[in-house]
Amino acid sequence: MQLNQYITAVQHQLETAAEAGGPEARALSERLTAAVESTVRLILLEALSDAASEITLELAPGSVEVRLRGRDPEFVVTNPHGGDFEAMIEQTIQGTMAPEDFDGTSTSRTTLRLPDQLKQQVEEAAGRDSLSVNSWLVRTIAEALNGGNAPRKGTRREPGEQNFTGWAR
């Protein structure tokens, strides 16, 4: 999705408003126009990201992600039912919970900053499970907190089994 047309429209509106103010207003408008581009682009990206998050909540367990390709966003839609939207709707009607809503409470937003190498591993693991990164993280965190795959105290893991340990802030 190219944002340039929207940014240009805002700049044009600013220039049009400045025309009525005379030469000083036009000069100020020209100086502001350059600064407006990055601000408007950032605000549009935030709005698109928020929209994708809201849509993802409605599509769960599917997802919509906004990814940057250069300076422009692109949308990636993931449907774990392989395009069978009727099955997804039926599953929702039957009362299944979204992965983001394990205990029946509302969801919350948080920011997680991962080292690039770890982020790549998380994306690969989510892809192997045909899940969005968010759904994979929610499932993995819930399993860890609920004792899912974590070894019990005093038990030993077999060689080759995966084990994740560490701290999160």
Q: What are the residue ranges of helices labelled H in the chain?
A: 4-19, 23-59, 85-93, 116-128, 133-145
Residue 58 confidence (pLDDT): 79
- pLDDT of the residue at 139: 86
Question: What would the two tokens of residue 66 be?
Answer: 């906004």
For residue 113, what are its two tokens?
Answer: 């900053």
Element (H, E) at 73: strand 72-78
**Number of residues that make up the chain:** 169
Identify the pLDDT of residue 121.
92
Verdict on whether the full-model pTM lies above 0.85: no
Q: Is the pLDDT of residue 96 over 60?
A: no
Is the CB of residue 67 less than 8 Å from the CB of residue 73? yes
pLDDT score recorded for residue 27: 87
E strand or H helix at 51: helix 23-59
Taking the CA atoms of 131, 133, 135 and 138 in sequence, report the sign of the dihedral they define: positive
Bridge partners (DSSP) of residue 78 are: 63
pLDDT, tens digit, 9 for 90 and up, residues 104-155? 556 777 788 888 889 899 989 988 888 888 888 888 888 888 876 544 334 4
Q: What is the largest CA-CA distance in the chain?
A: 80
Residue 19 pLDDT greater than 60, yes or no: yes
